[in-house]
Chain A
Amino acid sequence: MKKYAVLTNDMQVAFANKHEERRDAVQNFLPGFLKFINSMRSHGIPIIHLQLVISDDDPRSKENYGPFPPLVEGSKGVQILPELWDEKDTIVVKNKDSGFFETDLDEKLKELGVDTLIISGMQTQICVQTTAADAHFRGYNVIVPPETVTSTRGEDTKRSLEWMESYCAKIIPSQEIISKFAQNEDI
């Protein structure tokens, strides 16, 4: 059987509330996303949250995140969404788009013996996509369930899923993954 892990991207308070369109997009996908994550937890699959933390000298620190301060260390905005967080989960802090860029994610996954990554979160066309490409280059099998990724604009997710399917990932519906795991089958 393959050894799986789920990566979530940027599921953080400030990102989820950046503006009204983003809030709507996140609220629409969150119930299904949480159901999927809880199902994965029930099968003992490690959940690793990639948490974007940016430094004061990063131009993105000047961006507006609605009611929240920029994604700087220690702020409320930088926290993983409380409804998603479980104390058995792992957090990997990153400073750039890909979860592998100058982080210990690769080492952590190797320690766990993981060979297949289920990549989720937001936004599809930025952090999900770059992490998927990076994982593919590092030799991981990459799966992206389309219902577990989101973008402010739906067309960005659509285009990004097409790109990932053509280059680096299998796009498999979340329900199919849940069903396979329920039958103890590989995906």
Chain B
Amino acid sequence: MTENNAIILDHGAGGLLSKKLLDDIIIPILEPVYLGKMEDSGIISLNGSQVAITTDSFVIDPIFFRNGDIGKLSVCGTVNDIAVSGAKPECISLSYILEEGFPIDKLRKITESIVTTCQEASVSIIAGDTKVVGKGEADQIYINTTGFGTFSSDRSPLSLSKISDNDDVIVSGHVGNHGIHILSMREGLGFESRVLSDCAPLNKAIQAILGKYGDDIHYIRDLTRGGLGSIFNEISNDTQKNITLKEADIPLQHETVMAAEMLGVSPLYLANEGNICIMANPRITESLLQDLQAMEYTKHAALCGKVYKSEDPKVLFQQEDGTLSILDFLKGAELPRLC
């Protein structure tokens, strides 16, 4: 099968083929009814108030990992998508698709994990659905969550259009850890206890920095599917600006580099589930970094690049010896079913 006549796994990897699927097939058909801007959350106006809405489906394999599970992930993914728009996540919906034969005790454990994560993120569950399909028609459990968030009266949504030339680029945590952790769990590679998933609700950290720095924070994006490499390419493409990253400044855990080299993958394209990039006015960078590094989920935050005006937008990767190379879109899937 090719990408031309049927869906392949790479269409779901968050890279170039995912973008082509949306741009060439889905969006043109939806065009008469589609109002979104292809950002993490859609923003609509309801009775004069702006509301952020997002939806996401979670198909991770394995469903339980060392420091999380598909339930925690399904809350964090959606809460973080709402939070990066600048909104305060208020509530989510929760839908299960369960495979016949799925053990009730596992469903109970996942549901309890959802509750714990919702409590930590201070969000409620306001609607839900449960469907059961026959044995072999799904793999154990899939979860869909839809999130809703509100904006305070003094804050407008963050958007790509606010990114400015000379903005600093900050990454909030170690890159690629979730992908390496999940693959190591899947294959028993020996890295699973040293490299943990970064899966975490970041909404409180995001609300804290937005509350303090306001309009000096121009844009936030979570570095999920497709990883840092694909997402920075999307940002560069959509803003028509260059993003230059310094290799030595990208926060990477030693064991993650080690595992990625062994597997022949780049951590820059692996999914993260509790890691954001922030484009900010350079005048706040030092203070912002201090604040991020003082919070648990963002303690490895680092300044690792800059946004530049460009007539030929791309993501540039500056190596330690000063050499510049292009960090391209992920062509296919580094690893499937990481989120």
Question: B residues touching A (Cβ–Cβ < 8 Å)?
Answer: 187-194, 255, 258-259, 261-262
Contact = CB atoms under 8 A, between A and B. Distances in A.
Nearest to A52: B188
28 contacts: A95-B188, A96-B187, A96-B188, A97-B187, A97-B188, A97-B189, A98-B188, A98-B189, A98-B190, A100-B190, A101-B190, A102-B188, A130-B188, A130-B190, A131-B190, A133-B258, A133-B259, A133-B262, A134-B189, A134-B190, A134-B191, A135-B190, A137-B191, A137-B193, A137-B255, A163-B261, A163-B262, A167-B258
A49 interface: no
Contacts of B262: 129-130, 133, 163
Given A94-B188, A101-B188, 16 more contacts: A96-B187, A96-B189, A97-B190, A98-B189, A101-B190, A130-B190, A131-B190, A133-B189, A133-B191, A133-B259, A133-B262, A134-B190, A134-B191, A135-B190, A137-B191, A137-B194
B261 A130 contact: no
Interface residues of A, number: 18
Contacts, number: 44
B188 A133 contact: no
B263 to A, nearest CB: 10
A167 B255 CA distance: 9
Nearest to A133: B190
Contacts of A163: 261-262
Contacts of B188: 94-98, 101-102, 130
Contacts of A133: 189-191, 258-259, 262
Contacts of B189: 96-98, 101, 130, 133-134
A41 B261 CA distance: 35
Interface string A131-142: 101110100000
Nearest to A138: B193
A137 B262 CA distance: 15
Nearest to B257: A167
A133 B187 CA distance: 14
Nearest to B261: A163
Contacts of A135: 190
Nearest to B188: A96
